[in-house]
Structures are given as C-alpha cells and as structure tokens.
Amino acid sequence: MISLTLDELARAVSGTLHLADGDTPETTVSGAVDTDSRLIEPGGVFVAKPGDTTDGHRFVDAAVERGAVLAIVEHVVDAAVSQVVVADAVAALADLAREVVARVRAGGGIRVVGITGSNGKTTTKNMLARILQDEGETVAPRASFNNEVGAPLTMLRVTHDTRFLVSEFGASAPGEIARLAGLVEPDIAVVLMVGLAHAGGFGGIDSTVEAKSELVRAMRPGGIAVLNADDARVAGMAPLAAEKSATVRWFGRGERADVRADEVEVTPDGTRSTVVVGGERHELRLKVLGEHHVMNALAAIATAMALGVSAADAIARLETLELAERWRMQPLGSDRVRIINDAYNASPDSMGAALRTLAQITRPGERMVAVLGAMSELGEFAGEEHDRIGELAVRLRIPRIVIIGRDARRMYLAAVGEGSWSDEAVFFETADEAYDYLMGELRDGDRVLVKSSNSAGLRFLGDRLGESFS
C-alpha cells in the first residue's frame, strides 16, 4: 500500500482513530493490507472482518505478533496496536481501496482494467498480466480475488510505480460489480461472455446480462470497452459504451472482430490458432489446454493492444504462459495416465467446453474418462443443465463417466437415459468412493477430466489422482 498517515487513513474510511503508545496521528503506515492474520507481514494493516464461522477481532493479537502496526476494527480490541474503529470493516476496506487508487491516479501513469464475464475471468486476467508485466509494474489478483474482499485487497497493492492495475470482478447478485468497479472506474472494461454461471443468484439470464453490463457503465468516460463480438448479449452492451463516449474493441472468431482467431487446433500439448489483426496473421501456440481459452487469449491481446502493446509482443508473451491457474485445465499425472484437473469452477458453458477438450485431445487407442461433480448456483436451471451435461458426455462417446455427489445425481441419470450402458456411467456419493473405484479402473492410455464447481471439492480428488499417477 502507498504511505498514509494514521489520520489520513482514518479519514479515508470514516473511522475513529485510537492510538497505541508511541504512535501519533502523523505516524505513517505503508505495509500490505490483509484480512487473514496468518498473512500479515511486518508493517502490515489487519482488517478484522467478521465472518460466518469466526470473527477477525479474535485474531488481532495474532496479527500484531506477525508485525501488524494498525488494525481496522468494528470495536476496540484489547491489543497493543493502534486501531481505527469503523461501522463496517468490509465497507472500510472498499473505502481505503478507493482512496489509495485515487491517490495513485492523481500522480498519473496508472491504467486500470476491469474484467468480468460468466467464465474465463481468471484465465484472461492471468494472460493479460503476463503480457503487461514486461511493460511495467502490474498488479493483478491472486487466484480468483474478485469479490467484495478480494477485489479491494488487490487494489490496495498498487504503488506510485504501478503502471497497470488489472481487476477481476465476479458477482453472485445484481449491484456487486457496480460497487466494486465503482471503486476504481476502469479505463478499460472487458466483458468476456454471459452464461448461466451464478444465474440462480441473479434470477435468470436477463438479470445476468444486466449485472455484467455494470462494468461498462462503471468505466471512466472516454474509456475503451473490449467486448466479445460472438456473444450477442455482450455485443448488446456497445450502446452502453457509447453513452460513456467510449471506443469499442471487438474480439471473437467472426469477421466482425478487430482481433479474431481461426484455424484453431487443440492437442494434448496445448492449443494452436492463427490470430488475425488488421489483416496480419500471427501464429499463437498456447500451452494452455482448451479451445475456449483462445477466446480468453483474444480478449487479453485486444486489451493489451488498447494499452499500446503490439499484437506480436502480446502473442510472444502469451506463449510463455505455462498454466492458466491451478485447478483450471491443469495437466497432472503422466503420459501413462493424464489427469486434467479443472475442478475449481464449473458452469454449463465451461463444463461443456472441458468435455469437448477431452474429446479433442484423446488420440486413437486412448480412452476418455470424465469425472464430474455438481455445478453450483444455477437456481431453477440446475436440473435441466445437469441433464444436458450428462447427455453431452454420452454424445461425445466418453466410455467412462464417473458422477460424484448427490447434487450431481441428475447428471448420472441423464447419462443413463441417453444411452450409457454396461457401467459406462457410474455414480458415487463421495470423492473417496470414486477414488477407490478409479484406482482400480484407470489404465495406461487413459485421459481423465476432473470437473466440478469449487463447492463439490473435486479439485482435491484431481490432485490426489495426479499424484497417484505421476
């Protein structure tokens, strides 16, 4: 975090300052901000956030032991550290992020990018960060830090030397993206796609469109909107960009796109495509698995070009990216039994894309195995969408379909109903049961996809299988 006096910080969060011995209102703090006492470093600021299962106020002493010099709290705690008392710790975190980014902006030089979409946010964020880091200091979220806590924590990592802030904005209800993006008013708003991910929280696809469009509405006047030309719902946000006097840059597979791809080929070693920009053709060889990641790469390239990076440089840097993110199409195991662990998030779109990737990378003589769990937050669409994925697995002629967990049982029943027979599709209540089955079932030449939402916990099963067959 940039340097602030205790008084400046208290004013920024509308809090009341309680000084510890030796501190004054002019004492400065500049350490990292965190809500996890275990991650506090010397000079850091600890935000005591109340939680569902515990209360951050219980860990103020632990944060002080690790070197915290300030705690943001909702009530005074008996601890030897200066404290700023606020009405709402999470709201204070957002207010502090707004203040810090505003001060860095006032110094000039920083450009802010906001990314949203039903799928692909984290991969695109990582791709763009990889491109931009060669241009100058780049701050981007760790993992999927895209909610009311993670997004401000990322923003607070900027310094006066930061050239690029890449923010990832997720949401499970209307208004969340507007609040988070409103903290920084991005110069560039990137909308990847609109699908059924989290549709249950939004109340339907139309509300999801409205929620994702909040990012375009929140960007700075005269900015740039980077939009998916192939997604009609995203393309429909162009008039909102016009209202902000913003330029639209299109990415996609079709001729309309400013940055487009053709000749896409998925192999066990990665994904190849030809990127077309302004009539020039560039070969792109991603080490990341999956045809769907080409669209993420196009979005990253289009955004980087809007920031002054050439297409050739952007592509060359993308080709060095080894992995999109842990648990996202992550290759594990060995050539003998390859495990693809993609069980951090799942929606109908990403589930279908992962299954199609499995089919594309499995060569003659090898066997496809799909290990699938529930897709969360689909609301009223959950039943039919789980049915659809079970049916798709059979239509792709996947000979072993392993379904895990009660919330995914309809996927198993749909696979059976679609024509899976002779134990091609099996169901297990727990991941441990599935692991025992798979250890006896998997054989040389198997290509195994492990895919589910985070809540299903199958990412740990994927890790376990990867270690067993490494």
Taking the chain (470 residues) in runs of 10, the rounded mean pLDDT of each run is: 97 98 97 96 96 90 98 97 98 98 93 94 95 97 85 96 96 88 97 74 77 96 97 97 97 96 91 95 94 95 98 97 85 94 90 95 95 91 94 96 96 90 88 97 97 93 96
pLDDT of the residue at 143: 72
Q: Where are the domains of the chain?
A: 4-87, 109-318, 330-468
pLDDT of the residue at 197: 57
10 Å CB burial of residue 16 (0-12, 13-18, 19+) is exposed
Is residue 109 within 8 Å of 95, Cβ to Cβ?
no
| Residue 247 in marked binding region | no
Sheet holding 45-47, edge to edge: 16-18, 82-85, 70-73, 45-47, 33-34
pLDDT of the residue at 199: 56
pLDDT of the residue at 459: 95
pLDDT of the residue at 172: 74
| Residue 5 in marked binding region | no
Is residue 298 within 8 Å of 257, Cβ to Cβ?
yes
pLDDT of the residue at 269: 86
In SS3 terms, 223-238 reads as: CEEEEECCCHHHHCCH
Tell me the longest C-alpha to C-alpha distance in the chain.
Answer: 75
Is residue 184 within 8 Å of 98, Cβ to Cβ?
yes
Is residue 315 within 8 Å of 284, Cβ to Cβ?
yes
User: Distance (Å, rounded) from C-alpha 99 to C-alpha 160?
Assistant: 13
| Residue 212 in marked binding region | no
CATH T-level topology, domain 330-468: Protein-Tyrosine Phosphatase; Chain A (3.90.190)
In SS3 terms, 293-312 reads as: HHHHHHHHHHHHHHCCCCHH
Q: Which residues are paired to 285 by β-bridges?
A: 272
| Residue 121 in marked binding region | yes
| Residue 122 in marked binding region | yes
pLDDT of the residue at 178: 96
Q: How far is CA 174 from CA 198, 208, 210, 214, 225, in A?
A: 11, 8, 8, 9, 20
CATH T-level topology, domain 4-87: 3.40.1390
Tokens of 245: 């006097």
Q: DSSP string of 94-133?
A: HHHHHHHHHHHHHTS--EEEEEE-SS-HHHHHHHHHHHHT
Selecting from 1.10.238.10, 3.30.365.10, 3.30.470.10, 3.40.1190.10, what CATH number does the domain 109-318 have? 3.40.1190.10
For tokens 């009311």, the residue is 148
Chain centre distance of CA 379: 21
